[in-house]
């Protein structure tokens, strides 16, 4: 556990988080007031189509100067922080849940074993990779680890944007992990097995957690042939057949759609579709369970809640069950 990039819950977060997606740059500041996490500032600006294209293997920043200028304006609106955490699209990383029957006692040996294991599935040389991992569930026949692999040059490009805007990116993570963190930081985080579906214009990710630890993770491009509902159904079958699943205590949906695309109606349609396929109640993720708004009287639109969820998740991650 030596890295703080793409590191799930380990590193202490800053007070401001920035998220990059293909459609926008967003930021939020969270302060602790009387023991309560509070969103004290937030800002979002749209990106021109094609300026940023999330990818695991290739250049993400097609128009870096446009993205940098957008980031600069967003940071100005949240107080010009000198240190930020970054939330990147799931598409920039490959997440695996791997199991070892025996775990080396020395951390350096475990590092090498994990790199050897993920080397086989990496789409680029492991020497070009940023690899991070978190110990997961212990089971009768082994110990699970959640491993995240990203191309180092891709991550450095995002960090370079922040440096050019006067902010050091000391913590980098992916979107769905921080939606999970927002859920875990709530007053009543799930304790049994639960399912999360996180939808964006570019990809959809599905995670199954046993309490606070992922036991399954899959992300697929929005352009994939199979429907999201079919993917969720396949995941549920895998959960029952291969993961000794006995049923989900909760099913949660987090949705991000194209700007102006009618988030509330699309999210509701998706929720109903999942309920029909899973024959279970599906709730949407609300970041206010983890952090209140400074203006409690304000009406918060669903698309703003969606935007803030992974930002809040990164900023309150140390307050969750998996800290």
78-108 per-position pLDDT tens digit: 999 999 999 999 999 999 999 999 999 898 9
> CA-to-CA distance for 194 and 207, rounded, in angstroms?
8
Q: Say if strands 203-210 and 129-139 run parallel, antiparallel, or are unpaired.
A: unpaired
Q: Could you give the residue ranges of the DSSP H alpha helices within 107-173?
A: 107-119, 152-164
Q: Using CA atoms of 100, 104, 109, 113 in order, give the dihedral in degrees to the nearest 10.
A: -10
> CA-to-CA distance for 147 and 57, rounded, in angstroms?
17
| pLDDT of amino acid 229 | 82
> 97 forms bridges with which residues in the sheet?
146
| pLDDT of amino acid 310 | 96
pTM for the predicted model, two decimal places: 0.91
Q: Give whole-number Cα distances, 284 to 196, 216, 217, 306, in Å.
A: 9, 20, 19, 9
DSSP E strands in the chain: the ranges are 16-20, 24-33, 36-46, 83-88, 93-100, 129-139, 142-151, 168-174, 193-199, 203-210, 213-221, 250-255, 282-284, 292-293
Please determine, for residue 127, whether its predicted confidence score (pLDDT) is greater than 70.
yes
**8 A C-beta contact, residue 191 and residue 211:** yes
| pLDDT of amino acid 2 | 34
Q: What is the largest CA-CA distance in the chain?
A: 53
| pLDDT of amino acid 260 | 42
| pLDDT of amino acid 11 | 57
pLDDT range class, residue 297, cuts 50, 70, 90: low
Q: Which residues of 208-231 are buried (b: 16+ CB within 10 A; e: fewer)?
A: bbbbbbbbbbebbeeeeeeebeeb
> CA-to-CA distance for 42 and 28, rounded, in angstroms?
4
pLDDT range class, residue 142, cuts 50, 70, 90: confident
| pLDDT of amino acid 8 | 45
226-279 per-position pLDDT tens digit: 788 888 889 999 999 999 898 999 999 998 654 444 456 677 787 888 888 788
| pLDDT of amino acid 5 | 40
When mean pLDDT is compared over 47-56, 99-108, 135-144, 185-194, the highest value belongs to 47-56
Q: Say if strands 142-151 and 93-100 run parallel, antiparallel, or are unpaired.
A: antiparallel
What's the average model confidence in pLDDT over 52-70? 97
Domains assigned to the chain? 16-92+150-319 (3.30.420.40)
| pLDDT of amino acid 295 | 76
| pLDDT of amino acid 31 | 95
| pLDDT of amino acid 9 | 45
> CA-to-CA distance for 25 and 122, rounded, in angstroms?
28
What's the average model confidence in pLDDT over 16-28? 97
> CA-to-CA distance for 249 and 23, rounded, in angstroms?
33
Question: Would you state the structure tokens that stand for residue 267, as one six-digit string?
Answer: 């999210």
Task: Give Cα 50 to chain centroid, integer Å.
Answer: 22
- Selection from 13, 196, 197 nearest residue 87 by Cα: 13
């Amino acid at each position: 556990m030596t890295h703080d990039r793409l590191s799930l819950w380990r590193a202490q977060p800053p007070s401001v988080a920035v998220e990059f997606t293909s459609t926008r740059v967003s930021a939020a500041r969270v302060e602790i007031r009387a023991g309560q996490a509070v969103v004290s500032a937030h800002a979002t600006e749209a990106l021109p189509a094609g300026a940023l294209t999330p990818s695991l293997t290739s250049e993400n920043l097609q128009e870096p100067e446009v993205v940098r200028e957008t980031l600069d304006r967003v940071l100005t609106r949240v107080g010009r922080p000198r240190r930020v955490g970054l939330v990147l699209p799931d598409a920039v990383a490959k997440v695996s849940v791997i199991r070892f029957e025996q775990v080396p006692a020395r951390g350096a040996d475990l590092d090498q074993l994990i790199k050897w294991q993920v080397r086989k599935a990496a789409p680029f040389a492991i020497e070009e990779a940023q690899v991070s991992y978190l110990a997961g569930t212990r089971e009768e026949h082994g110990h699970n680890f959640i491993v995240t692999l990203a191309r180092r040059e891709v991550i450095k490009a995002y960090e370079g944007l922040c440096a050019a805007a006067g902010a050091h990116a000391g913590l980098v993570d992916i979107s769905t992990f921080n939606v999970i963190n927002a859920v875990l930081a709530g007053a009543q985080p799930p304790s049994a097995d639960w399912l999360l579906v996180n939808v964006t214009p570019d990809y959809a990710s599905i995670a199954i957690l046993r309490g606070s630890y992922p036991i399954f993770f899959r992300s697929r491009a929005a352009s994939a042939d199979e429907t999201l509902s079919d993917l969720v159904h396949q995941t549920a079958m895998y959960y029952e057949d291969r993961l000794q699943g006995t049923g989900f205590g909760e099913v949660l949906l987090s949705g991000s759609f194209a700007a102006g695309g009618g988030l509330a109606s699309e999210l509701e349609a998706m929720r109903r579709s999942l309920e029909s396929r899973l024959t279970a109640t599906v709730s949407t993720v609300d970041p206010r369970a983890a952090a209140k708004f400074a203006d409690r009287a304000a009406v918060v639109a669903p698309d703003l809640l969606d935007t803030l969820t992974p930002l809040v998740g990164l900023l309150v991650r140390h307050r969750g069950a998996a800290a």
